[in-house]
Structure 1
Amino acid sequence: MSVLMTLIALAAAGALIGLRFKVSALLAATALLAIGSLAWNGFGFPGHVSVLKFLILAFVLAGAYIIGVLLSVRWRQTAE
């Protein structure tokens, strides 16, 4: 359940970032994800974040960002 909620939360965050911000915000969010994963593992919380899990989370974030950008472009075209 927690993995599903993490994926949904990252997808929502990526889409919202894509609607408003440029790629630099995606890079910052990915860096924050990496730092958070390292901190999670360092503190010894349950649910170790492996490299594969981090890559999946980063791809979900980037994919949702692209969807957000496409929606933003589409809304701007219809508003004109």
Structure 2
Amino acid sequence: MKSPDKNKSLLGVFILLGAILGSIAGEILGSSFTKLSFLKTAYKVGTASPFNLDLKVFNLAIGLNFDINIMTIIGIILAIILYRK
């Protein structure tokens, strides 16, 4: 059962850390071992170019890109499992 002190922002932090650590692990393992080079392959998800809003006083550019590899997904899943415990 979920305790009341665990909240959704903590879950977000766990997921973010799991994604970052998973990506780092994928890069290290993919670079170190030739048989595991597929772990380093990342897929880009997001906008190809940012949305630009030019108001003459300032220019606002909004864009979001994710580079997801297999270890990123595994890191997120492990983070969710650790959060539930």
TM-score by length of 1: 0.40
CA radius of gyration, larger in: 2
Choose between structure 1 and 2 for higher RCO, CA contacts under 8 A separated by at least 6 residues: 1
Identify, as 1 or 2, the structure richer in helix: 1
TM-score by length of 2: 0.38
